[in-house]
Amino acid sequence: MTQDALTQISNKYSEYIAKLPGVLNANVVFVGTEIGEIHVLADLSRAPKQIVRDIQSLLMAQFQKEIDHRIVSVAQIDYDLIPTIIKPLPRLVIEAVTVAKRREFTEVEVTLSSNGKMYLGKKSALKDNYDLFRGIAQATLSAVAISCDLPKAYTVLEVRFLDIAGGRLAVVCVSLSSPNNAVSRFSGTAFSLEDDALAVVKATLSAINRRIGYC
């Protein structure tokens, strides 16, 4: 196999690995015709062992390539410390959460504010509570995206409620797609004080709070 062919394979493997959750960049190094080293740069959203297992599963499923976990090295950095020209925005404040039930669907509006400016996110949802809570989280993310004046990069993965410590806890999990197509997942929580809709908004903001400046 020529060096050019190995380079193409290395780049292809690296590209696929970089798409795994939590991975920011990857470099696959060949020794002869076999993979000798895999170097990964990741954020703090997932444990290194999880990332290594994902890489093993990916290479086996996609390329029928089995590797030893010992050849994979994972370096983790705080996503918030990555240099950026985007100045983080001031903390967003929840101004209003409106749920209007129509005949066939429910209209959700979430209004956030920052430095006196209002940002309105809207989403239509089905009438069942599961879709309604997802709609509230999505409307919240829409308002955040408008406040950042950037394309929407966050996606709602799941919203659920747990009974814990004598209270009702909203748990929201979202994903963030980075420019290199890597996907990271984040979660946030908030107790519901007899207002589940407001708790979902708070939990959604909690999930992305430290990354709002990067949107």
Do residues 127 and 105 lie in contact, with contact meaning Cβ atoms separated by under 8 Å? yes
- Kind of pairing, strands 72-76 and 34-42? parallel
204 lies in some domain: yes
* 105 and 204 in a common domain: yes
pLDDT at position 35:
93
Question: For the chain, how far is it from start to end, CA to CA, in angstroms?
Answer: 43
65 lies in some domain: yes
87 lies in some domain: no
* 53 and 20 in a common domain: yes
* 105 and 72 in a common domain: no
29 lies in some domain: yes
% the chain with pLDDT above 90: 50
57 lies in some domain: yes
Mean pLDDT of 5-13: 88
Amino acid making up residue 84: T
198 lies in some domain: yes
Cα angle 10, 16, 22 (rounded to 5 degrees) comes to 120
86 lies in some domain: no
pLDDT at position 81:
55
Of residues 67 and 154, the one with the higher pLDDT is 67
Mean pLDDT of 172-188: 76
User: Which of helix, strand or coil describes residue 114?
Assistant: strand
* 44 and 17 in a common domain: yes
**Res. 215: pLDDT tops 50:** no
Mean pLDDT of 150-175: 86
Q: Which residues pair with 31 in a beta bridge?
A: 34
Q: What CA–CA distance (Å, rounded) separates 207 from 60?
A: 32
- What is the domain-level CATH number for residue 112? 3.30.160
- What is the domain-level CATH number for residue 7? 3.30.300.30
Q: Which residues pair with 109 in a beta bridge?
A: 98, 122
Residue 137 sits at φ, ψ, to 5 deg, of -65, -40
Q: Which two tokens stand for residue 16?
A: 């696929």
Task: Count other Cβ atoms within 10 Å, centred on residue 187.
Answer: 14
Domain boundary among 33, 48, 77: 77
* 140 and 201 in a common domain: yes
The DSSP call for residue 31 is E
* 199 and 115 in a common domain: yes
pLDDT at position 85:
41
* pLDDT tens track for 38-69: 999 888 888 999 999 999 999 999 999 999 99
Contacts of 61 (CB under 8 A, 6+ apart): none
Q: How many CA atoms lie within 13 A of 144 on its CB side?
A: 27
Q: What CA–CA distance (Å, rounded) separates 210 from 92?
A: 11
pLDDT at position 72:
95
Q: Which domain holds residue 139?
A: 93-211
Of residues 202 and 4, the one with the higher pLDDT is 202
* 97 and 57 in a common domain: no
Q: What CA–CA distance (Å, rounded) separates 6 from 15?
A: 14
pTM score above 0.85: no
Q: Which residues pair with 25 in a beta bridge?
A: 41
* 200 and 106 in a common domain: yes
* 109 and 43 in a common domain: no
* 203 and 146 in a common domain: yes
Q: Which two tokens stand for residue 133?
A: 């809570």
* 59 and 12 in a common domain: yes
* 97 and 72 in a common domain: no
pLDDT at position 84:
47
171 lies in some domain: yes
pLDDT at position 61:
92
Q: Within its chain, how far is the Cα of 83 from the centroid? A: 19
Number of domains in the chain: 2
